[in-house]
């Protein structure tokens, strides 16, 4: 009997998890994505700050042990009637020319994620740095090293040095907070020793338009994080509206122009071009593809009926009347659920149920917070965060290698500050 073809669009937490969990004895699995690796996004801040090798912060889509077909391409549209994905290759080796082709599916899984939303802030797309994958993390580390060398040039005044070595993080969610934490550790413990002439001149600030940072955590933990950052000289500016981003600074409504060497933009999500194009029902916010509780994508209003053999999950999708945040936790739990129902032939029988796991954020200097456990703030939260980071990785090999890197960093200092 011929096997059904399942086409998966995207290799983020949702698409990658499904590609590995679907049973290749039952299905022909085809994965389409411009990215041939899946980033461990919770590890990107650590990778950017040199805690371990970049290759440990991502997982290749092709595995010797997994039978699947992979196309390095972008799905530009889907013809739901003909059950066909219209694709364009995403390999630059063809000398700039791209190939256009179609892939037929029996079942289609849409997981193209979101893209960063800079809210049309002038200059943000050109000048800000982002942290969505390993290539971004490498750019951030490269920029950090460049700034330190620029500030070390003869004739650079102290004011210029302080401007170059000021890093602005836009967004006070867990991603922005963890970047600030890892960078403050790097500045205090490593770069101030490697660059003694720059000690005390490196600074960090977090800007958020909301009245607080770490919005998903309870108020006592938000207050704890403010105190912790203040002790480590990380400035937190809430209610800060950024008017523009320039190559060497930002302009805000309240503070005017603020010089800096790098703007790290971590705030906001918006739909990706594929989601925008697809003729499906959408949520009002963001927007995301609307699904039922079995993750079937729905037709547009007014019918909102399941589209035959089409599923959507991850940041790109949300369940009607059961809205969930755009997180790796949600994406992986949905992917595991869908793999289980498809493998067992029980699609549409038992609805998806999300289980909230502990929210942990690192604040730097071995301090952290765990949502719902104020007594865990401090080193225990830091230990919980580190263990959680290890658990995100999918292979024992990567887990072991990251643990060895941490041990070496602890014994002999981070490789980034020994070079």
Tell whether residue 318 is a contact of ligand FAD (CB under 6 A).
Answer: no
The CA-based dihedral angle spanning residues 48, 54, 56, 59, taken in that order and rounded to the nearest 10 degrees: 110
Provide the minimum distance between the beta carbon of 35 and ligand FAD in the complex, in angstroms, as a whole number: 4
| Backbone φ, ψ for residue 17 (5° rounding) | -60, -45
Start-to-end CA span in the chain (Å) = 58
What distance in Å separates the CA atoms of residue 183 and residue 363, rounded to the nearest whole number?
10
CB 265 within 8 A of CB 398: no
Tell whether residue 249 is a contact of ligand FAD (CB under 6 A).
Answer: no
Provide the minimum distance between the beta carbon of 298 and ligand FAD in the complex, in angstroms, as a whole number: 18
The residue range among 41-49, 164-172, 241-249, 295-303 that interacts with ligand FAD, by the rule CB under 6 A, is: 41-49
Comparison of 111 and 168: residue with beta carbon closer to ligand FAD: 111
Provide the minimum distance between the beta carbon of 153 and ligand FAD in the complex, in angstroms, as a whole number: 31
Tell whether residue 326 is a contact of ligand FAD (CB under 6 A).
Answer: yes
CA angle 333, 80, 353 (to 5 degrees): 20
Comparison of 14 and 338: residue with beta carbon closer to ligand FAD: 14
Provide the minimum distance between the beta carbon of 112 and ligand FAD in the complex, in angstroms, as a whole number: 4
Tell whether residue 161 is a contact of ligand FAD (CB under 6 A).
Answer: no
CB 392 within 8 A of CB 40: yes
Provide the minimum distance between the beta carbon of 418 and ligand FAD in the complex, in angstroms, as a whole number: 25
Q: In the set 20, 33, 161, 228, which binds ligand FAD (CB under 6 A)?
A: 33
Provide the minimum distance between the beta carbon of 276 and ligand FAD in the complex, in angstroms, as a whole number: 10
Comparison of 209 and 267: residue with beta carbon closer to ligand FAD: 267
CB 116 within 8 A of CB 269: yes
Task: DSSP for 246-287, please give it.
Answer: ETTEEEETTTEEEE-SEEEE---EEE-HHHHHS-S-B-SSS-
What distance in Å separates the CA atoms of residue 335 and residue 111, rounded to the nearest whole number?
10
Tell whether residue 189 is a contact of ligand FAD (CB under 6 A).
Answer: no
What distance in Å separates the CA atoms of residue 284 and residue 271, rounded to the nearest whole number?
12
Comparison of 113 and 249: residue with beta carbon closer to ligand FAD: 113
Comparison of 164 and 179: residue with beta carbon closer to ligand FAD: 179
Q: In the set 295, 328, 338, 363, which binds ligand FAD (CB under 6 A)?
A: 328
Q: In the set 6, 7, 8, 11, which binds ligand FAD (CB under 6 A)?
A: 11
Comparison of 8 and 258: residue with beta carbon closer to ligand FAD: 8
Tell whether residue 112 is a contact of ligand FAD (CB under 6 A).
Answer: yes
Tell whether residue 20 is a contact of ligand FAD (CB under 6 A).
Answer: no
Work out the burial of residue 210: count CB atoms within 10 Å of its CB; fewer than 13 is exposed, 13-18 middle, 19 or more buried.
middle
- Binding map of ligand FAD across residues 55-94, x = CB under 6 A, - = no contact: -------------------xx-------------------
The residue range among 121-129, 196-204, 248-256, 309-317 that interacts with ligand FAD, by the rule CB under 6 A, is: 309-317
Provide the minimum distance between the beta carbon of 183 and ligand FAD in the complex, in angstroms, as a whole number: 13
Q: What is the total count of residues that contact ligand FAD (CB under 6 A)?
A: 33
What distance in Å separates the CA atoms of residue 62 and residue 407, rounded to the nearest whole number?
30
Provide the minimum distance between the beta carbon of 337 and ligand FAD in the complex, in angstroms, as a whole number: 14
Q: In the set 50, 113, 163, 368, which binds ligand FAD (CB under 6 A)?
A: 113
Tell whether residue 180 is a contact of ligand FAD (CB under 6 A).
Answer: no
Provide the minimum distance between the beta carbon of 196 and ligand FAD in the complex, in angstroms, as a whole number: 31
What distance in Å separates the CA atoms of residue 175 and residue 100, rounded to the nearest whole number?
36
Neighbours of 131 (CB within 10 A): 24
Tell whether residue 271 is a contact of ligand FAD (CB under 6 A).
Answer: no
For residue 129, give the DSSP letter.
Answer: B
CB 51 within 8 A of CB 414: yes
Provide the minimum distance between the beta carbon of 300 and ligand FAD in the complex, in angstroms, as a whole number: 19
Work out the burial of residue 243: count CB atoms within 10 Å of its CB; fewer than 13 is exposed, 13-18 middle, 19 or more buried.
middle
Omega of the bond leading into 302 within 30 degrees of 0 (cis)? yes
Q: What share of the chain is helix, strand, coil (3-state, %, to 5)?
A: 35, 25, 35
Provide the minimum distance between the beta carbon of 93 and ligand FAD in the complex, in angstroms, as a whole number: 18
Q: Is 120 left (phi over 0), alpha (psi -120 to 50) or beta?
A: left
Q: Which residues bind ligand FAD (CB under 6 A)?
A: 9-15, 32-35, 41-42, 44, 74-75, 111-113, 131-132, 174-175, 272, 274, 314-316, 326-329, 331
């Amino acid at each position: 009997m011929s096997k059904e073809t399942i086409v998966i669009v995207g290799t983020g937490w949702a698409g990658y998890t499904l590609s590995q969990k679907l049973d290749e004895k039952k299905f022909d699995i085809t994965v389409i994505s411009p990215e041939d690796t899946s980033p461990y996004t919770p590890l990107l801040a650590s990778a950017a700050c040199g805690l371990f090798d970049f290759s440990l912060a991502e997982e290749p889509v092709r595995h010797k042990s997994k039978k699947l077909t992979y196309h390095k391409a972008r799905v530009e549209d889907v013809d739901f009637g003909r059950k066909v994905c219209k694709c364009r290759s995403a390999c630059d080796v063809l000398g700039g020319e791209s190939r256009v082709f179609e892939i037929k599916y029996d079942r289609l899984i849409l997981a193209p994620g979101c893209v960063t939303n800079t809210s049309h802030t002038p200059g943000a797309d050109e000048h800000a740095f982002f942290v969505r994958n390993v290539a971004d993390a490498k750019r951030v580390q490269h920029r950090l090293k460049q700034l330190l060398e620029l500030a070390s040039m003869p004739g650079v005044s102290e004011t210029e040095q302080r401007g170059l070595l000021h890093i602005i993080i836009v967004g006070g969610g867990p991603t922005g907070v963890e970047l600030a934490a890892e960078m403050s550790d790097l500045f205090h413990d490593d770069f101030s020793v490697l660059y003694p002439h720059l000690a005390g001149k490196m600074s960090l600030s977090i800007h958020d338009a909301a009245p607080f940072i770490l919005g998903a955590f309870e108020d006592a933990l938000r207050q704890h994080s403010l105190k912790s950052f203040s002790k480590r000289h990380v400035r937190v500016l809430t209610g800060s509206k950024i008017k523009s981003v320039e190559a060497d600074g930002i302009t805000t409504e309240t503070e005017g122009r603020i010089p800096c060497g790098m703007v790290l933009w971590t705030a906001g999500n918006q739909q990706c071009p594929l989601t925008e194009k697809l003729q499906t029902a959408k949520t009002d916010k963001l927007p995301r593809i609307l699904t039922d509780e079995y993750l079937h994508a729905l037709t547009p209003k007014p019918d909102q009926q399941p589209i035959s053999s089409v599923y959507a999950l991850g940041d790109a999708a949300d369940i009607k009347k059961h809205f969930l945040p755009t997180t790796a936790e949600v994406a992986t739990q949905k992917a595991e659920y869908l793999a289980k129902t498809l493998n067992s032939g029980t699609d549409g029988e038992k609805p998806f149920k999300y289980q909230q796991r502990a929210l942990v954020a690192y604040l730097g200097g071995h301090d952290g917070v765990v949502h719902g456990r104020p007594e865990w703030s401090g080193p225990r939260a830091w230990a919980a965060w580190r263990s959680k980071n290890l658990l995100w990785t999918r292979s024992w090999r990567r887990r072991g290698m990251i643990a060895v890197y941490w041990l070496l960093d602890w014994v002999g200092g981070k490789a980034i500050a020994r070079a």
